[in-house]
Amino acid sequence: TVRITAYANPGYDDATADVDHNLIENSVHIEGNDTFGVHLGSCAYSAGNGNDGESEVGYNSVNNTGGIESDITGLQFLAIAGGYSGADASVNSNVVDNAADAYIVGGGLSGVDMTAFAATSGCCGPVGDADASVEDNSITNDGYLGDSFLSGASMNAIAIGENADTIVARNTIINTDEMFGFLSGTALNAISVGEDATAEIAANSIDNSGGIYSYVAGVMVNSVAFSGEDSEAIVVGNTINNAANSTIGSYKYGSGAFAGIMVNAIAISKYSSPFVEADAKINGNEITNAENGVIEGRFNGIALRAMGEDIMSEGDVTVNGNMISNDGLVFAGEDKYTDSAVKLAAYGNLTNIDLFGDSYSAPLANDTEVNGNTITNSGTGAMVNAGEIVLDSAVSLRADSTTGDRGGAFGKYASAEVNSNLIENAGFIGSYAVINLGGGIELTARAGGDAYDSGTSSGGGFEDDYVGLAGSADVNNNTITNSSSESIHVAAAYELIDADGIALNADASVDMYRSETVSGGFGSNVADIGSYSYAGDADVEGNLVENSGSIEVTGHMGEDSQGIVLAADAWAYAGSDARAYAPSGSATANANSDASGGVAQVNNNEVINSGTITTYGEDLNDSGYMQGILLTSSASAGADSNTLATGVSGGYASGGATAEAGTAEVHNNNVVNSGTIDTGAHYSTGIELSAFAWADAESSVSASSSDTKYAQASGGNASVFDNNISNSGNISTVNGEDSTGILLYADASAWAWSDGGSEHAQAGIAEVADNSIDNSGIIQAWEGIVLEARAYHPLRTIPVRSVRHT
């Protein structure tokens, strides 16, 4: 073994330890048993109040043409600094060159490890500043690095202090042969823990022209900041290049990596002050995959995820200005669950990651942005996800500020944005599954919420109200072009569910349900439940979607799976269920549900098809609503309440449901078809523009003594205005029953039912007006062109307003 170490522990004075300007050249075999192969380390510690520890490992060079082997770490650069008042550790400007046919093997940690660790301590916890930096280092591998648990090659900055700052910056990792680690082939990590914490990974470069393999991530980049007050995790300005005939994260060692390239920024602030912030940012990074290059993983091919959580959700979570360019293969595939081949996601709280479909969430969420990103897939490129169950689209951009809870109220006016992104596909994008819940290309902003909870109480009184508030969701000014004859292909051996070719979705909806049963005991029992949902604002505006290639959405069964869809949802649902049983006293049950729709707008968009769009379900009896092109908005509302009271001394029940729809708009859009649209499912349309603002309220009450109940529904405003639709191509929907060539539809109906109690339904206003439809092509359908406005209610207390023109 070879060791160069410096150690300083002066007691109550400042401590400084440096290992600088050393050269190690090895052409033979170096082996460390139960120790390091080659170790360059410095450690400085000061115990004095007001004194600092400073440690540096810098400007060293290691050239290996032989072999270095260890069961801990093959080659390590380690700086450790500790102090009562301050600590500064740096690993800077070191150079490692591992020649062809040479090897550096590490066991527990890494083949090559560069780590700076700084920590401060006082009598009552960390005090002072802790700074750790790993900067301007270079690792070049032309041989083999690996057989390690952590990584083939890793750079790590770790700081623990009152104010903790870490930075991993301007480092270069070049691989021309092979790297392997269990957790990662190569890794960059910045971890900060303190009252205020900042972790930054910036301006690093990773170039691969060989193979980088792992069981978790081929390339892993993690910025983590955990604090009691403000925290900030940043990944900015880094580049990852995978050359021709090279591989990142592959299946060489049996089971493939969880992700080919995994980039995470995680910020957590856990303090009761309402002014703390958790900011997580992945901005301005660049990933390129050359022709015949492969980036693949079991769950994701490439994944950029920013996650932030703080006590009052005052932070910002962004994935902005990144560029992904693919001329090769980016693949995600697994036997069971598979996510996206390419994923850019911002999560307003940690529970929104939702990897395997679990809908549990947190009461609050930070604002999220996925803005200004560019993804290009060239004519030689392919982006594919495949598995038994595909959870998300092959290419997915997602801003998620969803909230929810299992024990009380939730919501804050958080915002989610997916704006000004550019996606260009001239190659192949595919999504294959037995059950496909994903699609081809998807841009989704979510700022709604959901809460479901049910419980039982053993006697006495129980009272609980759920209040859910949605924020705002925007999918604006994006451009998506598909010019590939290779196509966007979405397929399912069994079922397609909401699996679209190209989808732009803004969701500010709220979905709530609360139930409670009170029984037992020796006296009176009371169950009092309330559920209140308030949707927010959802906008899909100013987007351009252009297809001059092929989009295919096919499966054995298909449901709500479109060729191209632009959808804004701001609907609300509230449900409550209260039950009281009293074997020796009286029982009282009360349930109230109130749902209010928000504002949903799909305005000023342009959809152009000069290629082919095909949606098809092989089993027509179980396939439906597979539109070729769909622009739709919903601000509907639904409320449902159920109560039951039974007691020896009497049962008393009351319940009510109120549903008020909001405003749904589809305005000033331009839809042009000069190609072919072919749908093969029931209730499908070639081109549909629809707005929904209906309301439905239902109340059911049962009591052994007396009961009161009511249901009130008010339709909103649904309008399809000033749109231009032009068809000079071919639209065919004849393979599905009740299918339409071109449909413009608005619905502001209302329904109210209360099982004999008070009922009131007031329809809203539905308008289809000032639209232009120009057909110079062919439409083959059950109904060719339909314009319909519906404002219906069953009580007939005011005139029914419904107009249909075919």
Contact between 171 and 140 under an 8 Å Cβ cutoff? The reply is no
Contacts (Cβ under 8 Å, ≥6 apart) of 588:
524, 525, 526, 527, 528, 580, 645, 651, 652, 653
Top pLDDT among 517 and 378 is at: 378
List, for residues 79-121, the tens digit of each pLDDT value.
999 998 899 999 999 999 999 999 999 888 899 999 999 999 8
Contacts (Cβ under 8 Å, ≥6 apart) of 678:
612, 613, 614, 615, 616, 628, 730, 732, 733, 735
Give the pLDDT score at 797.
41
User: Sorting pLDDT into bands at 50, 70 and 90, what band is 408?
Assistant: very low
User: d(Cα 534, Cα 514) in Å, to the nearest integer?
Assistant: 15
Q: What is the pTM of this model?
A: 0.94
* For residue 360, pLDDT beyond 50: no
Give the pLDDT score at 799.
39
Amino acid identity for residue 598 in this structure: G
Most confident of 354-358, 362-366, 785-789: 785-789
* For residue 356, pLDDT beyond 50: no
What is the side-by-side order of every strand in the sheet holding 758-762? Answer: 410-411, 461-469, 525-534, 587-596, 651-660, 706-714, 758-762
- In this structure, what is the dihedral angle of CA atoms 667, 673, 676, 680, given to the nearest 10 degrees? 10
Compute the average pLDDT of residues 416-439. Answer: 95
Beta bridge partners of 742: 687, 785
DSSP-assigned letter for residue 256: P
Top pLDDT among 517 and 381 is at: 381
* For residue 798, pLDDT beyond 80: no
Contact between 648 and 583 under an 8 Å Cβ cutoff? The reply is yes
List, for residues 207-246, the tens digit of each pLDDT value.
999 999 999 999 999 999 998 778 999 999 999 999 999 9
Compute the average pLDDT of residues 129-143. Answer: 97
Compute the average pLDDT of residues 766-771. Answer: 97
List, for residues 668-679, the tens digit of each pLDDT value.
999 999 999 998
